[in-house]
C-alpha cells in the first residue's frame, strides 16, 4: 500500500481524488488538507463520501510529508510550487493538478498567468502527465504536472496526427465544458438561472490552456472555449489541414492503430460522434475522426469527464505508472448511464 496525501481537497477535483482513491486497491489516504475546513469531516463538503472516517486538516508540509509517500496537489494556480518543493526535498513524489509546472518555459508561464513563477528551478524536473504521450517519462518522474481538462481532450483528438507529422499549419479547436470546470467557488455566471439554457464563448484568444495545447502538439492553435449548461464533461472539435489527403476510413484506421494499446482512449466507429454523457464518472476519452473531402479538412472530436480523465483520474493514472502499478488500478469503472 502507498500512503498518499491530498493537498487542497475542498474543490470538485479534490472530491474526485477522494472518491477514486478511497477505492484504489493500493492506496491508503493518510492526510486530506483544507485551510477553511480544517477539523471537519470530509462528508461536510462531499456528502457522497459519508461513512468514511476522514477529516480535513490544515497544511503543515513537513508534518504531512512524514505521513505520505505521494502527494496529490489540488491547489489553485501559483499555490502548488512552494509545498511541492518541500515535498520533493523530503524525498516524496508529487502530482500537481494546478498549472504551475505544465509549461516548460518560464516566460511563457509568466506571460499567460500574469505572475512571476514561484519555483522556476523545478520546471526542468516536471514531466507533463499525459500518459498517452509521456508514459515512460512519467514512470521515472518525481514531479508530474497533470494536464488541464481542455488540453487533454484537444491533444488526444490530435496526437495521432501530430506524432506522424500530418498536421499542416494552424489548428482550430472549438471546445465546450460543463460548469464544474469553473470550480466550486460561487460566481454569478455559474448561478443556475444564469447558466441554464445558455451557451457562450469566453476568454477569446486569451485562455491559459492555449500555450499548453501548443506545447504538447508543437503547432499553433486557435482555441475557443465555451461554457454549456451541464455539470460534467468536455467536448472538443478540432479542425485541421493535413499534409496529405486521407479518407475517413483511413483516418479512423490510423487512430485505431495509434491508440490500440491505450486503456482509456476509445476510438469510435466512422461517423460516430463522441458524447461527454457517455464518459461521465469514468477515466475514458472517446475520440473520432472524419475527413471532409469538400473542404480538405480533418475534423477530430473528443469527449471526456473534465473531473476524471480531465483531472483526478488522469492524475491517478500517472500515480499508477510512477508506482509501478497496473495503469488501470482504481480506474476501471465504466461511465454512468443514463
Kindly list the catalytic residues: 149
Distance of alpha carbon 223 from alpha carbon 173, whole angstroms: 5
Q: What is the DSSP letter of 9?
A: T
Beta-carbon contacts of 131 under 8 Å, excluding residues fewer than 6 positions away, are 138, 264, 314, 317, 318, 321, 327
Cα angle 39-43-45, degrees, rounded to a multiple of 5 = 80
Cα 283 to its chain centre, rounded Å, is 10
Residue 97 · residue 146 · CB < 8 Å = yes
Rounded distance between C-alpha atoms, residue 268 and residue 287, angstroms: 6
Find cell 463522441 and name the residue.
Answer: 274
Q: Specify whether the CB–CB gap between 294 and 107 falls below 8 A.
A: no
User: What would the grid cell of residue 179 be?
Assistant: 460548469
Amino acid at each position: 500500500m502507498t500512503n498518499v496525501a491530498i493537498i487542497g481537497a475542498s474543490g470538485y477535483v479534490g472530491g474526485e481524488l477522494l472518491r477514486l482513491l478511497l477505492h484504489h486497491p493500493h492506496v491508503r489516504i493518510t492526510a486530506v488538507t483544507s485551510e477553511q475546513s480544517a477539523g471537519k469531516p470530509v462528508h461536510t463538503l462531499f456528502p457522497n463520501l459519508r461513512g468514511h472516517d476522514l477529516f480535513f486538516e490544515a497544511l503543515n508540509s513537513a508534518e504531512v510529508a512524514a505521513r505520505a509517500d505521494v502527494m496529490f496537489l489540488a491547489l489553485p494556480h501559483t499555490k502548488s510550487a512552494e509545498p511541492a518543493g518541500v515535498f520533493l526535498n523530503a524525498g516524496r513524489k508529487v502530482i500537481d493538478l494546478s498549472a504551475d509546472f505544465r509549461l516548460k518555459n518560464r516566460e511563457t508561464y509568466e506571460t499567460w498567468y500574469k505572475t512571476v513563477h514561484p519555483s522556476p528551478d523545478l520546471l526542468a524536473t516536471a514531466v507533463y502527465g499525459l500518459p498517452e504521450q509521456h508514459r515512460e517519462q512519467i514512470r521515472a518522474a518525481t514531479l508530474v504536472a497533470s494536464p488541464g481538462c481542455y488540453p487533454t481532450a484537444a491533444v488526444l483528438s490530435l496526437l495521432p496526427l501530430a506524432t506522424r507529422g500530418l498536421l499542416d499549419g494552424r489548428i482550430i479547436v472549438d471546445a465546450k465544458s460543463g460548469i464544474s470546470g469553473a470550480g466550486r467557488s460561487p460566481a454569478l455566471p455559474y448561478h443556475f438561472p444564469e447558466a441554464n439554457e445558455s451557451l457562450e464563448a469566453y476568454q477569446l484568444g486569451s485562455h491559459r490552456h492555449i500555450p499548453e495545447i501548443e506545447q504538447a502538439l508543437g503547432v499553433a492553435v486557435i482555441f475557443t472555449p465555451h461554457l454549456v449548461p451541464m455539470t460534467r464533461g468536455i467536448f472538443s472539435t478540432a479542425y485541421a489541414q493535413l499534409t496529405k489527403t486521407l479518407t475517413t476510413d483511413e483516418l479512423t484506421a490510423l487512430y485505431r492503430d495509434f491508440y490500440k494499446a491505450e486503456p482509456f482512449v476509445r476510438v469510435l466507429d466512422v461517423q460516430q460522434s463522441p458524447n461527454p454523457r457517455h464518459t461521465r464518472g469514468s477515466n475514458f476519452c472517446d475520440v473520432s475522426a472524419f475527413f471532409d473531402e469538400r473542404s480538405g479538412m480533418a475534423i477530430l472530436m473528443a469527449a471526456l469527464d473534465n473531473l476524471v480523465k480531465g483531472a483526478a483520474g488522469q492524475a491517478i493514472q500517472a500515480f499508477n505508472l510512477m508506482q509501478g502499478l497496473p495503469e488501470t488500478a482504481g480506474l476501471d469503472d465504466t461511465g454512468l448511464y443514463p
